[in-house]
Each structure stands twice: as C-alpha cells, then as structure tokens.
Structure 1
Amino acid sequence: MFLNCHTYYSLRYGTLKISDLLELGQQKGAIAMALTDVNSTSASLEFVRLSSEYNVKPILGVDFRIGAKQQFVMLAENNEGFKNINEYLSKFLHDREGSENLKIPSKAKQLPHTFVIYPFAFFEGETLSENEFIGVKLEDINRLKFSPWKNRPEKLVVLHTVTFQNKKGFNTHRLLRAIDNNTLLSKLPISEQASENDIFISEEKLKKSFEEFPQLIENTENLLKRCNIQFDFSKEKTCNQKSYTANEELDFRLLKKLAYAGIPYRYKRPGARVMARIEKELGIIREKGFVSYFLINWKILKYARSKGYFYVGRGSGANSIVAYLLRITDVDPVELDLYFERFINLYRKNPPDFDIDFSWQDRDDITDFIFEKFKNTALIAVYNTFKFRASVRELGKVFGLPKEEIDKLSSQDCDFKKLDKLSQLVIVYSKYIQGFPNYLGIHAGGILISEKPIHYYVSTFIPPKGYATTQFDMVIAEDIGLYKFDILSQRGLGKIKDAVEIVKYNHPEKKPLDIHDIKRFKKDEKIKTLLRSAQAIGCFYVESPAMRMLMKKLHVDDYLGLVAASSVIRPGVAKSGMMREYVMRHRFPEKRKEAHPVLLDIMPETYGVMVYQEDVIKVAHHFGGLDLSEADMLRRGMSGKFRSREEFQKVKDRFFNNCKTSGKNEAFTADVWRQIESFAGYAFAKGHSASYAVESYQSLFLKAYFPLEYMVATLNNGGGFYSVELYVHEARMHGGNILQPCINRSFGETVIYGKDIYIGFGFLQSFETKITEKIISERTKNGVFESLDDFLERVSIGMEQVTILIKINAFRFTGRNKRELLWEAYMKINKVSFEENVYTLFKPKKIDYKTPSLPHTALEDAFDEMELLGFPLCSPFELLANASENKLRATQLPQFTGKTVTIEAYLVTTKQTRTSRGEYMYFGNFVDREGYFVDTVHFPPVANQYRFRGKGIYSIIGKVIDEFDCITIEVIKMERLAIIQDPRYSPAPLPPEGGTVTDNRRTTLENRRKSAAL
C-alpha cells in the first residue's frame, strides 16, 4: 500500500534512514514498499539489499518534483523499467543549470516497463494511458467523492506519501526545507513543505481510511504485485566491463603476451622465483575474472606514457608482478617480498586496487580519454553530510539568530542549560541532522566502467567538472559488483615534472635528467644524508613535521626504511601505541625479544609490530585462524565501510572463538584485536607505501642536487604541507635570491635565472590574470618596458592594478621610489581600465607632471609585501617592536636537554590533536632567527592558558626534551611578540631639505634582505 516513500536521500526533504524506513514498514505490517526518493535513486540499491532483512518486497521508482511540488511518481515494473527511469531522470539532472529547479513536465514521457502515478490534487488531464494512474492521498478522499474520477475507479490508486515518522520528523523536514530555500523558518512557504499527513501509518489504518473505495485498495495491491526488481549482491562476479577486446579468451592471451613482453624491461635475468610468480598471478587473475581490469588500466597508462605524463601506480595492486610488468606500477614485488595474498587470492571477490596518481595538470586529459575510449562510464559521487558546526550555522540562520550567537553556539563554548529556547532547539536539531546527506559531491578519483549501462543501476548528474556522475557512492557500487578505477590528481608529480623542465632551462649545460632511475637514487649518498637529517621540505610525503621527526627517530637512510616509515606514520599505528614500540624495537634490538613469539614469527621484518595492511591479513589468518576470505573482510571492515554490517561482526566473533579454542590468552587476544581495530583502517599496503617511497626518492633527488629549481616547481604547483612563505624561506636557505615580481622579468608563475628567483604575478593577491597575460604578451611582442610611462602606453590597465604592481616594487628598475610612481600613475590614468590601446602613426606628446619629493622606507616595503604576498621578504624578526637580546638558537638546543630555556621563533604551522581523555593539545612548528626548525609540544593545561595567536614571532619558555635524537620543547609559557606599527599609516618625520630618510632599521633591513632567514 506504500507507493511513495522517501528516505533522507531526498536531499533537504526526507528525514528517514533507509534502515529506519524498512523497520517502520516491518512494524506497520507493510508487505511491499516503493522507494521513490525526490529526484534521486541514491538509496535504491541499498534499499533492495537491506529489504530481505525486514521481509519487505522492494519496489523502486522516483518522485519527480519541482521544488516541493509533486509532478508525478514513476515506478519500475522490472529492472529494465528502472533503467528507463534512471535515464529519464538523468536527462533532467544533466540539463539542470546552477541551482535552478529541474524542468520536469506535468505529464510524464511514456517509458516501457514503468508505471506513472499523478497526484489527484494537481492532475488536470482527462485521458490516461494503460500504465498511468491517479494517486489519491488521505486528504483527497472527500474531494474524490464529488469528482468525475469516482466513476473511473480502475485508474485510481492509493498514494500515501511517507516522508517522516512523527512530529519531530515533520519539524526536521521543515528545517531542512528552510535551509534549502535559504529562508527563515517563519517565512517558509507552505508550498515548499510537505503535508503533516506524510507520516508512516499502519497498512491496516490506511486500508480503513479507503474502505469506501475498495477498488483503490485492490488496484494498489495489484500494482505492487506487478512490480518486481532483482539485483545480485553476492559479488560472485564483477559488473565491470567484462572484456577489453570483446573476447575474454583473447583478453587473456593479450595479458599474458604483455606480461612476458615486459620482462626484459623490468628484469635483466629473471630467476625461477620471478617466472613462478608470473604464472601464479596470471592463473588467479584469469580464474577470478580480473583480466579486463588489468588491461583497461594498462591501456590508460599506455596513453599517459604516449603523452609524456608522469604517474605513480599504487594501492594493493602494487603487490602484483603482472602490474609491474605492464608498467601500471613501479614497485618490484619480488625485490620487496610483497605479500601475494594482499594483492589477490582465490577468496577475493573484488579486483585489486590500482590508485593511479597523475599531475593535477594532466588528470583531466586522462579522464577525457577514459570517457571517450570506454562506454558505460561515470564518475562516482560522495555524500557530503551535515556536520554539527555547519548545521548549527545553517539552523541558526533559519531561526534568525544573530551572527555573534551563532558563532558562540558553533564553537560549543556554552552551557546548554543556560541557553534560551531557540538556541537549545538549534543545538538539538543540529545533533539530530548530523550525518544526514546534504548534497552530492564527487569522489576524489573514482571512475566506473560498467558492462551494462550505468543507468541500469542508478541515475547520473553533471557536476561542474562536466562528467556524468552516479548518484550513489563507492560502497553501494561495490555492493553491486562495480569496482572503481582510481584516477587521482597529485601536485607532487607536477612538482617533479616541472622541476625537471626548470633544471633543463636553468642548467642547459647539464645532461637531461633521468628522473626514473630509482635504483641509482637508492644508493645516492646525498639522498641518504637528506633522509637521516630529515631535510626534506617540499619532498613528497616526507616533509611534514611528524614525518621528519619519525625519520630522525628511525635513522632512516634507505629505501626499505622509508617504505616502513610511510606506513608507521599513519594514524592507526600511532593510535594503537605501536609506533613508539616499533621505534624502540628498531633502535634497540634487545627490545625485539619482548614481542609475542607468534607475532614475531608472522612479522619478523617489522619486529612483530603490525605496520602494513598485509599484517592484518597475516595476523588474522595465522594468529586468529581465519581463512583468507574472512581475513580480507576483516581488513576491509576496519576501514569503516562495513563496520556495522552483520558479516563483519561474525568475522570478529570467529576471531575470538578461534583464539580461545587454540588456547591463546584472552587478555593478549583482546590486545591484538585492539591493535588491529585501531590500525587497519589507516594503514597502507606495503606496495602502496613502496610506491609512495619511489616518488619520495624522485623529489629527494631533485632537492639534493637542484634545490632552487625544485623549490620554484614546488611554489608553482601549489606548495605542499606548508604555506608559500616557508618554501620561499627554504629557497633562501639554499642560497636563492628572492625577488619581488618585476614587469620585465616575471611571469604568472615564479621563475628562476641562475640563483635569482622572481616571485610570479600569480602570487599577488587581487592581481588579475588577464593583466598578467597582457604584460607578458606585450613584452614578448615589443620588448621590455623602459619606464612607467612606456608601460602605461603599451598596457591597458586600471589604477587599482597599477597600484598593486607599484606597491610590490615591480617598477624598481626605474630607480624611483614607490610614492613618486604612485603619484605619477594617479595623475596619468583613470581609476578604471582604459579601452584596449590603439597604436597610431605618431605618438602623442607626453604630459610631464612635476612629482613632489616623497619619502619612502624599506619598512613600508615589508608591510606592502605582507598585504600583497601574505608575508614579508625580509626577516620578520626585523619587524619586532622591541629589539630582542635573546641569543638562543635551534642548533644549540641539544646542549640544554632537560633544562628550561627561552627561545624566540617564528610560527610556521600547528597541529591540533586530542589526548586519551579527549582534551585538546597541540604540536607547534617554528623557525628561529637563523631559519632552523624549533618543534614544540603544548599539553592541555598550557594549550588552554597560552594559545596560538596567529602568525608571528613567539617567545617560548619550555623544557628541552630529547626523544630518540629528536629535540622538542615542552612548552611552559608562550606569548606572541608585538611588531612595529604599520609605517604606511603612521606619521613619519619629513627628511631635511635635500636629504633622504636614513634610519638604522632601514639600513639593517636593506643589508640583510638577501641573507635573512625569512
């Protein structure tokens, strides 16, 4: 009797989880239910998957609406009908412009294997086709008695809409509608909300309400019987494109040929172990039906190589020798002894993961290629959900609270009991809608290539990226047997690629770099030194404070050490308490005896500590007695995707039962489980870590031999872990001469000439890209600019944009100070842009204005740079209001281990975390006057009392701690030091007639600009 049910995937409309809807149906006696979310099929497959658990027959369809107005409900008679509905809905979703409502007609298109139900209240036609009906709601019953349709009962069905469970659900619905309409709750139109009657009532009560019209009840039940939908969730086979060549046998022959053809490239003299591994893998790949998955990845990367694109193949597929031979990955699984069963085993139902990273500049072309080359292709969505703080802000606006109050509520800095009624409602309902899907986004890189049309499973929409995107996420896709291809974007590869090109033009005398010569890099002493000393700023995956500290603690100086560190740094290992244990056992061999013999035997390479995802499988299999299928399910379950599912709980119970049966100590078993649980969802597969380490070595090589060029490439590719300022600082620490943009030398990106690094126009705040293009175009065509006059004659530009160039000293080649140039520019151009310059045969005579003598200081430069770049190019220590006499430096800290010291340092970055008690604490990262790092720890009492106050120089008092050769300061007290008043807006004494501004600070600044730490 339920033909029109909504879940909360009716975005900003519905209020029920899928499981809650089914549970209500079971409780209210529903034998069959039609899920018809508003303009969405996001929940459809999950609804079908779960329905058997609640003994409810699932029926699928869509509630087509414009805003809140129901146009019609369409139901699928079978799977073909569901495909047709998805195609029909997708047409509207693809045509949608911006946030405008969908242009859905009042009359539905005739689609095979579908039924259409029009709402009685709005239907104006007189004729209906065989598959069309009129839906009568509870509130329509009295009107029906006086309607001509009363005489055509064969075309009437019961259309009871289910949107919420109770009064609280109705209130939640109204709040969601107010958010969607960006309006106050008090001003929400009735037309934009559901009826209070759209509540779940029992089937018995529904039938009783329509007892005067028994044929309506019969029609509704017959319609439900006619609808049958079937999907296979067993995952016995994938639904990905079955064959690459349109012939599965030919596919396998091609895969085998490619694998053997790749042997000479990868191995000079392959041994028996290599050949045996190849044969074993090929056999299982064929048996599991993953051949086309490998070939499609191979084709994508063959295209990438033909275009000269850099890429890194990682994921569990990096454990595969076939992937290595096909050049999908660059990790040799034989050399690293990668665990074969992590990559693939006979129990595994899903293909291995291949995460393919491309430069952010190349990824879109790769995506275009995939969509052109393969049919039935779509991106995967992610559900962006309501987060508590964002919900507080949204609901605060809906209730009309002032901004100050909303800020206070969202910070949770308030006592709930002392709040007024409205503020309490904001908190209550924010918690209630927390986790509700809010809108659909795009998965970072997931692409589906299906055997059947994508619309067989779900509708698609077109986000700004421009590619068809599914309305469900990767978890639902995998449930039905659709496994994604991960085509990811990564700026680290862009840095490497650009750095190679920059080296080529800045050092034309050198031979072209072979950035793929990883074997040579692994032996390079300069790289080993960078690793040991953790001087890895800008280098992929190894530049963060935490990673640099870990490398110091582990004395990492080789490839395998870096592979381990890449996974040890992951949150799970630290959370389980095993990161410290790993460091201890690594540094002190005698500590390895403390490992449990069984675990040490399973994982000798990592001293009995779980470091890689493979370790979870090994421990679950060898220690917990699970078969490989159960062990892999355990690993996947730990990621959070399947944690709540029944099958995962069964595996957990099996683990404990097996350990108990085999006589293992219960407390120790519980501790092993705790380590698995806290660790597995965050850990890397070893092959994945090895792939990361390859890219780290490439960036370390460039940093070791071409640090300036590499820093320029880093700046031009969006930096990395840190801000632009630190990479500029790092370039200066390596001897670079950092210069402001110059209209004759600079481009949009930062450029380097020898050791001179000119910051790009693109780094200037509020500077327009089109002006950059004009400058470069004119300079290329007609030569360098000779003066401000020459520039203004040749480039059409407004006063605002010229001001930016003058203030950043882009005209310094003229030898005139900024204030004089600003005065002249103001006199010569309007405050709005000119029309494009028109060249004439004779140049008009220049008008020369007498420019007054205007003083200017280097301090003003520093504040202009802070305004336009976000940081000064001089040392920030020169801007202190009170000159400091503190002499302590970072390099001296090891001499004061265990002692309390005071040091001054400039804040680089902070990291917030929580203690086991849930209290906030921080880690700080600073640089001292000489530019060397100072690392700090701020425990909760200190963190609460002495807070970070943004960028600036801090005076830090604390105890020096040496942990495994890693120096940190445990902060006792901290304050940010004041800087001078902005000289641009403070009165300054005029220089004596004929004189110049000469003060000690200016002289100091100008003498130290090139050598300053920051």
Structure 2
Amino acid sequence: MPDIDVDFPWDERDSILEYVFKKYGKERTAMVSSQIFLEPRSAVREVGKVHGLSNEEIKSITKRIGWYASRRDLEHWVRTDQRFANVDLDETLIRVLRESEKIVGVFRYPSVHPGGVVIVPDKIRKYVPVLVAPKGVQIVEWEKDQVEDSGLLKIDLLGNRSLAVVRDTIRQVNLNYGEAASRSKYVDYHRIQPVGDEKTKTLMKAGKTMGVFYIESPATRQLLAKAGVVDFEHVVIYSSIIRPAANRFTNIMLARIHGKDWELIHPDLHFLAESYGIMVYEEQVSMAAMTMAGLGYTEAEALRKTMSRDSMQHLVLFWKKKFTEGALRQGYSSNIVKEVWDMIASFIGYSFCKPHSASYAMLSFTCAYLKAHFTAEFLAAVISNQGGFYSSYAYMSEARRFGVHILPPDVNRSHREWRGGKKKIRMGLMSIKRLQQKAVDSILDERKAGEFDSLNDFLSRVDLDLADAMTLTNAGCFKSLASELTHRELAYRVAGFYLQNGDREPLTASPVNYELTAEDQYRLELETFGYPLSVHPVARYRPMLSRRIKYARDIPKFIGQSIYLIGVYITRKETETRKSNPMEFLTLEDETDIYECVLFPEVFHKFGDMLHWETLFIIRGAVEESFGVYSVTIEKMGSLHQWVRRLNRVSRSLSPDK
C-alpha cells in the first residue's frame, strides 16, 4: 500500500505528532521504527573502541569510508583502495578491520522514524508488534518498507526546514515594512506567484540558488545554469534526474534541451516524450516494464520498488532477466532492451515519482522567489533554521555576493536568530559558539524593559556567568555600548565586574588599552564564531602570493588554460566513475566568487586525502566550459597554509641579512 506524505515546518512537527497521539490514543497509534544496522563506519568505530583505539586512530579509517559505503571486505578494501593510501596500517588496525567485517549488517537497535505514523481502526497490537523507544515514544517493530508491504497505511508527518524558512521570511518581510507599506510590500504566502516571475527566472537561470529548497546543491545549480530553461515543467524534471547513477542521462538531456535532434527509443515509449526521451520519474519505470516486458501492474511495481530500495538490491538481477526475456519475447530488439534497462538501472538508490517532484518544485520556486525579491530576509531565515546543504559561513558569503551587509551580533540589536532586511543581515546570538541558552534568554527578557543605555547599564541589569560574559565580549556584542573602548579594555572591565563577589561595582579604568592586531582579530573571530567576519580567509594570503594567482570572477577568461587559484572549502561530494574509481567534486570560493572543481581519479589519488584535514587550498587546474558553465579540472593542489609557510622560509633564506 502506498503511503501519505505531509510536510510541516521542522519546528512544528512535534506538536503535530502530539496532536495525532492525543486524538487517536496509544491504543490505535504508533510511530514507525528505523532499524539500525551496523554499517562499515559504525562497525569499525565499535570494534576500535573495544581494542582501545583513540578517536583519531578510528577516524583515520572511518572518515575515508564515507556514509554511502556498504562493503563487507573491509581489510581488502582498505589495503587496496587509494583513498586509504596514507593510513598507517599496523597489526591492531588490521585486526579491527577483520573483526569489523564479521559484524557489518548486524542489527544494532530500533530507532524512531523521522515522521512515519501508523493509525488503525481498533487496537494496533492486533496488527503489528509494538514497543516503547528509549525516548518514550511508542513504535511498531517493523520499519517503513515492512509496514508498507504488510498492507498498513503509513502516514509520513515530516519536518521540512524550507517550509520554516518560507514562514520566517514572510514574517520578517511583513515586520520590516509594516502596515504603512503593506499595500506594496505585504507578502501573503497564498498569493505568491513565483512561476513566471522574471526576477525568479533570472536567479534560477544563473544557478544562484544556494539556500533554495532542493535545487541548491552544486550539481543542481550547474544543471539550472547549463539548461537555461527554468519553467515549472523543466524544474520538475531537474529535481528528479539529479540521481547518483543518472549523470550520463543528464548530459544527454542537456544536449537535447539545446536543440540536438532526438527520437524516442521506440514509439511504444511515448510517455518518455515529456522528458526528452529519457526515463526520469518512477512511474516511467513501471510503465516501461508493463509496455515492453508485458508485466502486470503488481510485477511492474515490484520491479520499481526493487530498484529504489537498498534492502532489495539482491533482486535486481532477477528483474533484469525477467524484463529482458519479456521484452525480447514481445519483439523488441536487444539494443533497445539494453538501452531501456540502462535507464531503469539509473534509478538504483533513490528516485521520485512525478507528483513528489512537482510538489518539491513548487516549494523550490517559492524559495527562489523570496531569495530574488527579499534576499536578506530569506538568507537570514536559511541560516537561522540551519540544516541546509551548506554551512552558515557559506550562506553568509552568498549574502555578501548579493550585496547584503553582514552586521555583527549586538546585545541591543540581535535576536536569538539571524534577521535580515533592506540589504542588511544582523547576526543572531545563536551564532556565538559556547554561549549558553540561559544567557540568551536573560538578555532578551531584560531587553523587554528597554534597550541597554551603556555597558554599565547592561552589567547592572543582566546577571551572567563569567564565561558567557566573555563570550559576548569576544563576539563584539558590547561594541555599540562602549565604542570608545578597545577590545582589551572592554574585556578587562567585563571580566572585572563579573569576577566580583557580593555587590559588584563597574570598573572605570583598564591597565591595557591597545587595539587587537588584524591577526588577533581574525583568530578571535574563528574561536568565537567558527569563521571570520572582518576579512575573507584567503584575502589575508593574497598579498604574499604571486600575481599569477587568478581571481574566481575571472575564470571565464581562461577557457582551455591552466591557471592558479586559491579558495576556502565550501562543500564536496565523493563519487565513483563508471569503472568504480573514486573521484571528487569540490566547491571552493575566494573573495570574489564561488567556483566548482573536479578531481578525477589520478589527481584524487594524489591529493584527495588533503580534503580530510585542510580548508584553505591553492590549486592549479584547467578551465573547462560546458553549456556556458565553467568549472576547474584540478591538476595539482596544496595546503595554502603550508604553501605560504614555505614561501616565507625561502624568502628568509634569501634575505641579505642572513
């Protein structure tokens, strides 16, 4: 039986589930379980602990395995795969790998599915065994596929962060512009018409969709820019064809979008006409199986499910044989049968039906509309709701590329969350590392009585732990209250106040009054936020480097040439070639723009391990162009820190003073 999917803002989902259990009662209701099995990473981690390995020793293996790996031949894999070339394999590690192999696939524990709920007419225990999870939630002992196969109806009440982003963006837009401007600026979700909006189309055609639901990954951003066609029907296709095994078909589709002649593989497959003759949606798999192989609806659906479920991959060969024999028997040529099966095989792992993709595309358009028209409000909401494809720093950089000014946190101006408006984003107090929630609550609660007039006013009104007070100081939250004081003076006065016992008195002088150096400020920002605010990470190094180092904004000028670039890590995706050789897609940015890189197997073998420990890079690579979109095929890469350190050593050795 199919399930029902309903998405809610992620921070409202728990209240929805609470309502369901309250309305239907525990006798009739339970959540679906997620059955957790030991995978290679978790197996190595658990066995490594038993053998007394440190976290670093365990991570030397697990961080190179990746989340997707499901192999069991761990020792052979680690000994032969180039990704593990820099691992120091001693006898203990070898023993850990051998013993880990024995427990891969072993059931570990039942967990709670993110949103799956089963509701029955009478007593749920009549239909399925039930247990209580450690967090106190009642769950069935079957996982989602078993629930579906048993005939029970599963309702997925899912938490979606982008729905919260849309909600918060609209709320902030309407707060920013107020009633006086409501006629021209008031935004009503139900009246937004993003499809066909020119600013939205321009943004999507440029692939500037970081933060936009479901179309923000590097691969999808590049696909949007390469295609240049962003009507609703095409975006539905794009959101479905971005699958791990479908890269080859993506390139075929792009050529056809840009005018290359094409025909259907066979007239009987007329249902592929809407997607350029390429199989994109799950239902097209079922329709091809019924049309070509003569399978009934039930068998065709079983084939489709087999392709998309990891737990059923052992049945793929059975269905390939059944499909091939049936299609040949019905008179289709072996070439056509092979071509169609190759498309079916691209659905291995995961895929979507067209209605699912269409509903996602509608939310994508809404997010793109809000980003195009209300950039500051939108990106502030993306950062505040967290959980996007990129880090807070990456979204902050994206805001700056759109001309938005980032304002530091402030005890009078900041809220818990980030807030944007009128080309400015004010960082939220949530951005400050190690700041306790009780401190945030105290500040916001006290501010209801009025803003803080001065540093002394704040100190007298808000009782904080010393650690929180110093964290706020290091974040620059008191700057507006005492702009005449240097950071060291501020820190001395704040620490001196909160260190006092009994009746505290504000200090009026400080023995230190000199400013932080640029390097001190940079390090303080890294410690306080996890990323710098005052300067781009690579901008500090550019004056020390050769003028041959190009800017990312100039990449289009060097098509077909090898150039040097520097960049900070944004995201990466490890994958494999058709010959199962590992390679990597890497996204970097410098102070001028973001750019995409590729490490093919030979280069990945030499430099890929660096991506596990470095975030600032210097690269040499060839500029490639495809459908008007540029990327850099990396030839060499190195740590920017180490490169500059080497340059400094050379310059010192050549100094005439030596």
SS in 2 for 1:521: coil
Per-residue deviation, 1:847: 5.7
Per-residue deviation, 1:521: 1.9
The corresponding residue for 1:273 is none
The corresponding residue for 1:962 is 625
The corresponding residue for 2:152 is 482
The corresponding residue for 1:742 is 410
SS in 1 for 2:406: strand
The corresponding residue for 2:83 is none
Q: Which of these residues, 522, 540, 547, is aligned with residue 862 of structure 1?
A: 522
Per-residue deviation, 1:960: 1.1
Return the alpha-carbon distance in structure 1 between the equivalents of residues 492 and 147 of structure 2: 64
The corresponding residue for 1:277 is none
User: Is residue 704 of structure 1 aligned with residue 356 of structure 2?
Assistant: no
The corresponding residue for 2:332 is 664
Per-residue deviation, 1:468: 0.8
Per-residue deviation, 1:924: 1.2
Per-residue deviation, 1:550: 0.8
The answer to whether the Cα contact below 8 Å between 1:358 and 1:487 also exists between their aligned partners in 2 is: yes
Q: Which of these residues, 616, 629, 635, is aligned with residue 304 of structure 2?
A: 635
Return the alpha-carbon distance in structure 2 between the equivalents of residues 513 and 846 of structure 1: 47
The corresponding residue for 1:914 is 576
User: Is residue 510 of structure 1 aligned with residue 182 of structure 2?
Assistant: yes
In structure 1, what residue type is equivalent to 2:187?
L
The answer to whether the Cα contact below 8 Å between 1:539 and 1:696 also exists between their aligned partners in 2 is: yes
Per-residue deviation, 1:860: 2.4
Return the alpha-carbon distance in structure 2 between the equivalents of residues 881 and 667 of structure 1: 55
Return the alpha-carbon distance in structure 2 between the equivalents of residues 384 and 703 of structure 1: 38
User: Is residue 368 of structure 1 aligned with residue 21 of structure 2?
Assistant: no
Return the alpha-carbon distance in structure 2 between the equivalents of residues 846 and 548 of structure 1: 53
Return the alpha-carbon distance in structure 2 between the equivalents of residues 975 and 404 of structure 1: 23
The corresponding residue for 1:897 is 559
The corresponding residue for 1:721 is 389
The answer to whether the Cα contact below 8 Å between 2:32 and 2:112 also exists between their aligned partners in 1 is: yes
User: Is residue 462 of structure 1 aligned with residue 132 of structure 2?
Assistant: yes
Q: Which of these residues, 399, 423, 444, is aligned with residue 776 of structure 1?
A: 444
Q: Mapping of 1:912-991 within 5 angstroms?
A: 912-930=574-592, 932-947=593-608, 948-949=610-611, 950=613, 952-978=615-641
Cα distance change on mapping 1:892 and 1:600 into 2, 3 Å: farther
The answer to whether the Cα contact below 8 Å between 2:34 and 2:110 also exists between their aligned partners in 1 is: yes
In structure 2, what residue type is equivalent to 1:862?
Y
Per-residue deviation, 1:677: 2.6
Per-residue deviation, 1:441: 1.1
Return the alpha-carbon distance in structure 1 between the equivalents of residues 9 and 458 of structure 2: 36
Q: Mapping of 1:510-529 within 5 angstroms?
A: 510-511=182-183, 512-517=186-191, 520-529=193-202
The answer to whether the Cα contact below 8 Å between 1:626 and 1:654 also exists between their aligned partners in 2 is: no
The corresponding residue for 1:55 is none
SS in 2 for 1:655: helix
Cα distance change on mapping 1:866 and 1:603 into 2, 3 Å: same
In structure 1, what residue type is equivalent to 2:218?
P
Deviations 1:711-736 (A, max 9, x none): 11111111511100111112222232
Cα distance change on mapping 1:474 and 1:391 into 2, 3 Å: same
The answer to whether the Cα contact below 8 Å between 2:278 and 2:343 also exists between their aligned partners in 1 is: no
Deviations 1:189-208 (A, max 9, x none): xxxxxxxxxxxxxxxxxxxx
Q: Which blocks of at least 5 consecutive residues in structure 2 are unaligned?
A: 65-74, 81-87, 646-658
Cα distance change on mapping 1:691 and 1:753 into 2, 3 Å: closer
Return the alpha-carbon distance in structure 1 between the equivalents of residues 317 and 260 of structure 2: 38
The corresponding residue for 1:150 is none
Cα distance change on mapping 1:550 and 1:415 into 2, 3 Å: closer
Cα distance change on mapping 1:981 and 1:749 into 2, 3 Å: farther
Per-residue deviation, 1:401: 4.9
Query: Relative contact order (alpha carbons < 8 A, sep ≥ 6): 1 or 2 greater?
Result: 2
Q: Give the percent of matched residue pairs that are identical in Structure 1 and Structure 2.
A: 32
User: Is residue 387 of structure 1 aligned with residue 387 of structure 2?
Assistant: no
Per-residue deviation, 1:452: 4.0
Deviations 1:548-579 (A, max 9, x none): 111122212211110111111122423xx322
Return the alpha-carbon distance in structure 2 between the equivalents of residues 373 and 430 of structure 1: 45
Q: Mapping of 1:241-260 within 5 angstroms?
A: none
Return the alpha-carbon distance in structure 1 between the equivalents of residues 9 and 323 of structure 2: 42
Q: Mapping of 1:25-40 within 5 angstroms?
A: none
Return the alpha-carbon distance in structure 1 between the equivalents of residues 425 and 89 of structure 2: 56
The corresponding residue for 1:826 is 495
The answer to whether the Cα contact below 8 Å between 1:937 and 1:971 also exists between their aligned partners in 2 is: yes
Per-residue deviation, 1:366: 1.1
In structure 1, what residue type is equivalent to 2:555?
L
The corresponding residue for 1:879 is 540
Return the alpha-carbon distance in structure 1 between the equivalents of residues 231 and 174 of structure 2: 28
SS in 2 for 1:879: coil
Return the alpha-carbon distance in structure 2 between the equivalents of residues 908 and 419 of structure 1: 30
Return the alpha-carbon distance in structure 2 between the equivalents of residues 634 and 972 of structure 1: 42
Scaled by the length of structure 2, the TM-score of the pair is 0.87
Question: May I ask how many residue pairs the two structures share in their alignment?
Answer: 614
Return the alpha-carbon distance in structure 1 between the equivalents of residues 427 and 118 of structure 2: 41
SS in 1 for 2:618: strand
The answer to whether the Cα contact below 8 Å between 2:497 and 2:505 also exists between their aligned partners in 1 is: no
Per-residue deviation, 1:493: 0.4
SS in 1 for 2:624: strand
The corresponding residue for 2:249 is 578
SS in 1 for 2:346: helix
Return the alpha-carbon distance in structure 1 between the equivalents of residues 110 and 622 of structure 2: 49
Q: Which of these residues, 437, 443, 449, is aligned with residue 107 of structure 2?
A: 437
Per-residue deviation, 1:378: 0.4
Deviations 1:374-421 (A, max 9, x none): 2411001111111123212322332445666545565668649x9777
Deviations 1:441-492 (A, max 9, x none): 1112110012342222444333355421112212222332212101101101
Cα distance change on mapping 1:546 and 1:420 into 2, 3 Å: closer
Per-residue deviation, 1:652: 4.9
C-alpha RMSD of matched pairs (Å): 2.8
Deviations 1:901-952 (A, max 9, x none): 222333211111122333221111122322x221111112112222444564
In structure 1, what residue type is equivalent to 2:171?
E
Cα distance change on mapping 1:823 and 1:979 into 2, 3 Å: farther
Scaled by the length of structure 1, the TM-score of the pair is 0.57
The answer to whether the Cα contact below 8 Å between 1:381 and 1:443 also exists between their aligned partners in 2 is: yes
The corresponding residue for 1:378 is 30
Cα distance change on mapping 1:731 and 1:828 into 2, 3 Å: same
Return the alpha-carbon distance in structure 1 between the equivalents of residues 555 and 643 of structure 2: 29
Cα distance change on mapping 1:746 and 1:981 into 2, 3 Å: farther
The corresponding residue for 2:275 is 606
Could you say which structure has the larger radius of gyration? 1
SS in 2 for 1:918: coil
Per-residue deviation, 1:954: 2.5
